Structure 1
């Protein structure tokens, strides 16, 4: 489809009342969710920068979510994805090593399992660099090719137990929906921030082990 056709298609989509309502609900809930956390920032200069950029990220996230192709149920009123929660995932080092040695690439959205205080969560992150057989995730730092976190001084504030998992639709779904477990018992889901909500629309759902091809 050429740019003119794509623009016309988007314009037609925005004429739909349900689409406009979902966008408005998402924007409202994202502002309500982000402003309290921003207000706790003690650095005034950083707070001002983050506040000035907030409208851009709210608009971008709401637009990508509404116009995206995420195969999950969207609760626009609460700003979250919905799907049935399954059993607690496990880290398999051999499976991760096979994938990250041969098939991973910078820019890929990946699932990271975090175990903190007996609570297991799966988060979305992106691979942003690689060196010496290691992979770096934008939020959760360095991992070896087996998916085990590598201690680095800059990662002192990150959870101690972090595992890079081989991407699968089940894991991506768990991350998008904020699924949590405590000793394999299902807990209420966590709330995703703007970054992860936007990452969900960047997943190549047709093949989660490859990067999404931008149109």
Structure 2
């Protein structure tokens, strides 16, 4: 007996999800193994690499699952494991007033935030999370301390300038897609780390103040 069209559509959608999931897993494995191979130097930390390899399947499958099951306005390139969107001609320009207006009211632990990085003539936006919040500054998990205007207040990062941006589509889009600008001109996008790809799945595109909850597969 022929199945109803609604069931056929459901089965077709499920098959598409399975194919996409497999493509993403393959892309993430290839990417992370290449990255880990760079640590396999005589002076590298073999124990650390071994731990990373042991945890790799969990994070690869988790990222692929949440991307397949998530909802994003961006276009997904499953074969390369990346997000695609039209790139602005110029990098985002920090706005200290907007930063202060946003973070003085809405900053909270666990919030996803965009950080503008400038290094050796290259600019790009990376994803980070707030893990500490005080009355006059916030701390990002990877980047360190910023005041509420977005200015860097830490000394850990050398040879590059980082500025906190306020959460919004115009800042999250280049962060998710790896957009870069070199000498103020558009250049090829960077490849996001597996951690950053996982963070992209937590962006609440309908309310940037409330990231999606962390869920296991």
Aligned to 2:30: 32
Counterpart-to-counterpart distance in 2, 1:199 and 1:151: 23
Q: Could you list the per-position Cα deviations for residues 49-97 of structure 1 after superposition, in whole angstroms to 9, with x for gaps in the alignment?
A: 1110000000000000111111211000011001001132101111111
Counterpart-to-counterpart distance in 1, 2:118 and 2:95: 15
- Match of residue 82, structure 1, among 84, 98, 106: 84
User: Which 4+ runs in 1 deviate beyond 4 A?
Assistant: 12-15
Counterpart-to-counterpart distance in 2, 1:187 and 1:79: 19
Contact 2:151 2:164 in 1 (8 A): yes
User: Where does structure 1 lack aligned partners over 5 or more consecutive residues?
Assistant: 1-11
SS in 1 for 2:115: strand
Aligned to 1:44: 46
Matched, 1:96 2:99: yes
User: Residues 105 and 159 from structure 1, CA distance in 2 versus in 1: closer, same or farther, beyond 3 angstroms?
Assistant: farther
Question: Which structure has the greater CA radius of gyration?
Answer: 2
What's the offset of the Cα at 1:15? 6.9
What's the offset of the Cα at 1:45? 1.1
TM-score, reference length from structure 1: 0.87
Aligned to 1:8: none
CA RMSD of aligned residues (A): 1.9
Contact 1:111 1:167 in 2 (8 A): yes
SS in 2 for 1:166: coil
Aligned to 2:3: none
Contact 1:125 1:139 in 2 (8 A): yes
What's the offset of the Cα at 1:133? 2.1
Residues 83-92 or 204-213, more deviating:
204-213
Counterpart-to-counterpart distance in 2, 1:13 and 1:95: 46
Counterpart-to-counterpart distance in 2, 1:13 and 1:51: 34
Q: How many residues align?
A: 201
Matched, 1:128 2:126: no
Counterpart-to-counterpart distance in 2, 1:67 and 1:149: 35
